């Protein structure tokens, strides 16, 4: 495991112990259907609210997740991802709850989930889905966490980085599989990974492309292979999210005379 990822996981276990002693609020936000928003006739966008990351630092100094989420919804996003890790990504559960209260789209808690208590937190703070990362879980724990989330009515995006991890995800019963082209060990982007893996997945699986998508051309070669794409850094660096959202889906505006 990459040293940074290893450190994140160690920190997360410490946070989990603290979380066990904290009471959770009663959920007041409805669970919004995941599949109908992502499995559509066109490629949907899971648009991400992310202030920063360990590799990039602060991406958006004027970060306002609610304002950003509203722009995403108005722009036609299928779902919204909210980073809730505080130590490395500068997020919080309060960000998750604030966004979930202000939009009518399914919101996914994106974090390094290792324990059922984190899923209980996601539920309590308004998530309709969670992220599980195969790389940091045993197959047995992955199955257990999937069952726990399903028991609460939450959808699960299972993130993979190679064919072996995809098989682990399928064996666990995952029905939404993210293919992350960013190698967690080297942080390099492997853009051909989706073309290698996605055609082997059954059409009943919601196939999500993750990382490295910053233009219309970036995802065009995936057309017909994916149902959705998760886009974060591109939007967080944008000076005009609405315009860049449109260009991402439709290509640069054409000059007309």
Q: Which residues are catalytic?
A: 48, 50, 110, 159, 180, 210-211
Say if residues 80 and 49 touch (Cβ distance below 8 Å).
yes
Q: How many CB atoms lie within 10 A of CB 110?
A: 29
Q: What is the dihedral sign for C-alpha 205, 30, 51, 46?
A: positive
Element (H, E) at 180: strand 176-180
Element (H, E) at 245: helix 241-250
The span from the CA of 16 to the CA of 115, in Å, is 7
Burial of 194 (0-12, 13-18, 19+ CB in 10 A): buried
The span from the CA of 239 to the CA of 72, in Å, is 14
Q: What is the CA radius of gyration of the chain?
A: 17
The span from the CA of 161 to the CA of 171, in Å, is 15
Element (H, E) at 132: strand 129-133
Say if residues 232 and 50 touch (Cβ distance below 8 Å).
yes
Which residues make Cβ contacts (< 8 Å) with residue 187, sequence separation at least 6?
A: 2, 55
């Amino acid at each position: 495991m990459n040293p940074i990822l290893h450190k994140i996981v160690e920190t997360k276990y410490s946070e989990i112990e603290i979380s066990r002693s904290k009471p959770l609020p009663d959920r007041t936000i409805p669970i919004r259907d995941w599949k109908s928003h992502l499995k559509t006739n066109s490629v949907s966008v899971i648009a991400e609210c992310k202030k920063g990351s360990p590799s990039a630092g602060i991406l958006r100094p004027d970060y306002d997740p609610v304002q950003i989420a509203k722009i995403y919804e108005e722009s036609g996003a299928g779902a919204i991802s909210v980073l809730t890790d505080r130590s490395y990504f500068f997020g919080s559960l309060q960000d998750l709850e604030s966004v979930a209260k202000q939009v009518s789209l399914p919101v996914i808690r994106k974090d390094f989930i290792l324990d059922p208590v984190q899923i209980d937190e996601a539920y309590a703070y308004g998530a309709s889905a969670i992220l599980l990362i195969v790389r940091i879980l045993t197959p047995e724990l992955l199955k257990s966490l999937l069952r726990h989330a399903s028991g609460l009515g939450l959808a699960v995006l299972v993130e993979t980085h190679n064919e072996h991890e995809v098989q682990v995800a399928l064996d666990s019963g995952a029905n939404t599989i993210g293919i992350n082209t960013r190698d967690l060990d080297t942080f390099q982007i492997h853009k051909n990974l989706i073309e290698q893996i996605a055609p082997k997945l059954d059409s009943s699986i919601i196939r999500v492309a993750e990382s490295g998508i910053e233009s219309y051309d970036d995802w065009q070669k995936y057309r017909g292979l994916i149902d959705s794409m998760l886009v974060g850094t591109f939007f967080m660096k944008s000076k005009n999210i609405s315009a860049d959202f449109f260009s991402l889906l439709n290509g640069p505006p054409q000059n007309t005379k």
